[in-house]
Amino acid sequence: MSAFVLEQKEINLLAQATDAMLRLNKKYPGSYHLAKDTVDILGQYAGDMHNVYRALYITNIKAVNGRYGEETKTLPKYKAIRAWDIDRLELEYIKKACCMFGCYLYQISEDPIYGTKVYNAFQDIKKALCSLYFSIGFDWNGNLN
């Protein structure tokens, strides 16, 4: 298995999606079910795109470093990204983020990250995001809205 650090635009998308799920869970706690550990680990970053971005990137870098025995990789300079409007989520971006989270989780499935609380938190974010996609993306007959 090989691992790589995702591109900045891909981390940006994941940061937007992660932030959206954290804010949705905070605003509507009964509707968006994130695990307690996820909220404990990432919940403090709801609305803080810079730190969500950093958490995703640093986790990816640590996993790749663990895989290849490298010391460090430089974290790219953060450029502010626009948070999603959680009251008007776009299905296209949710779908892209669900797919990208699959890739991301594969990349961080390395020591020392795999199986940690932060790994499980990102897995929980992906699960909630994909559940959201399927709940708003399809009608009761299974047809794409």
Residue found by looking up tokens 């996993």 in the block: 63
Mean pLDDT, 10 residues at a time, the chain of 145 residues: 88 97 91 91 95 95 90 77 92 94 96 95 96 72 51
| AA letter at 117 | K
**What is the pTM (predicted TM-score) of this model?**
0.90
What 3-state DSSP class applies to 138? strand
- In this structure, what token pair is assigned to residue 65? 């470093």
What's residue 139's pLDDT? 53
- 89/38 Cα distance (integer angstroms): 21
What's residue 7's pLDDT? 92
Q: Are 30 and 50 in contact (CB under 8 A)?
A: no
What's residue 75's pLDDT? 76
Q: Where are the domains of the chain?
A: 8-137
Q: Which has the closest alpha carbon to 31: 41, 19, 40, 21? A: 21
Distance of CA 145 to the CA centre of its chain: 24
* Cis amide bond preceding 112, omega within 30: yes
- 122/114 Cα distance (integer angstroms): 11
What's residue 2's pLDDT? 80
